[in-house]
Amino acid sequence: MTRRQTRRIAASDLTPGWLDDLMAAQRPVVIGGLVDGWPLVAAGRQSAQAAMDRLLANYGGAPVTGYVGAQEGGGRFFYNDELTGFNFDRGQAPLPDYLDRIRADASDEGPAIYIGSTDVDRYFPGLRTDHDLPGLFGAAVPTVSLWIGNRTVAATHYDSSHNLACCLVGRRRFTLFPPDQVTNLYPGPLSPTPGGQVVSMVDPAAPDLARYPRFAQALAAGEVAELEPGDALFYPALWWHQVEARDGFNIMMNYWWDAVPDFIDTPMATLLHGLLSIRARPEPERMAWRALFDHYLFGPAQDARDHLPDHAQGPLAPLTPLEARRLRAMVMQRLNR
């Protein structure tokens, strides 16, 4: 596994606008002690049971989605050997049922139990009263989620939003790879996926370099972030990351947010439609379409519109909610032809 450590700064050294600075740099950073004063962090330092009790004090009672797998392979949630399904079971139950299983199966040989991406406001009303970072994200409204379980590994994947992951109980290790390593990570099927996102087929803890030789280049470009309770990790959208929960009981809270307005659509829809409309065309056509995409999408926006008067720019002008609705209607009309 790669040994390069993610840059670390102390929360006490942060200056106003620090998140804007991190966004501008577009590199992962560990912020030591950012949420050190949160009650769940203090409870976890006391005991796993104290952390469970503090968490349940805000639990609303709705069943949560849990994943249960074997500890073989380090509790890594992944596909089965034939890629016909997964190596874990998915179900729903009240949170206390999962916590009881975590307590009862505390040995390293017990099942891996993972309650992932659980919306805080829906399932734990009031928790953000004393577990939050108000005002940090400006006009963006983040999605705030909890991740709960024992010793588990979330296989290497990427998210389409920026992330601030706060380690509350137990230790976490993130293995991170920049977006340009996508080919070297050997992405798996687009669907189905273990947790809603495409995952790398390579296990960073035991890479099969004979089968996946380019992964050596990904390792050389990667880095590792070690988090203690109270620490947080910032990493930008589309950075690939494997997440290891390293203790018998772990809780993480994360903030996902986008740097664009809500009316901007997800690029994944464009990628999927590109598979339908571009991927199978002859190479000269694909290269010609690449030039068009570079002109309209990846080059400077003004290059595609400044030679046109304002009234003729249409969707080439800065996007507004009204123009976004018009574009969406045009796309739907073409898809439904």
Q: Give the length of the chain.
A: 337
Q: Summarize the confidence of residues 81-88 as an average pLDDT.
A: 95
Q: pLDDT-derived band of residue 98, with 50, 70 and 90 as boundaries?
A: very high
Q: 14 CB contacts (<8 Å, ≥6 apart)?
A: 31
- Please give the class, per CATH, of domain 8-257: mainly beta
**pTM across the whole model:** 0.94
| pLDDT digit string, tens, across residues 305-328 | 999 999 999 889 999 999 899 999
The tokens describing 52, both together, are 């469970």
Q: pLDDT-derived band of residue 1, with 50, 70 and 90 as boundaries?
A: low
| Average pLDDT in the chain | 95
pLDDT at 336: 87
pLDDT at 78: 96
Distance CA 58, CA 312 (A): 54
Distance CA 157, CA 200 (A): 6
**Beta strand residue intervals within the chain, DSSP E:** 8-10, 29-32, 64-69, 76-77, 88-93, 112-119, 143-149, 152-157, 162-169, 172-177, 223-227, 232-235, 240-245, 250-257
Cα-based angle 194, 195, 197 (whole degrees, multiple of 5): 100
Q: 144 CB contacts (<8 Å, ≥6 apart)?
A: 119, 120, 121, 128, 132, 253, 254, 255
| pLDDT digit string, tens, across residues 4-13 | 999 999 999 9
Percent of the chain at pLDDT > 90 equals 89
Who wins on pLDDT, 210 or 104? 210
Q: Summarize the confidence of residues 255-277 as an average pLDDT.
A: 93
Residues of the chain with CATH 2.60.120.650: 8-257
| pLDDT digit string, tens, across residues 131-165 | 999 999 999 999 999 999 999 999 999 999 999 99
pLDDT at 163: 98
Task: Please say whether the beta carbons of 229 and 45 come within 8 A.
Answer: yes
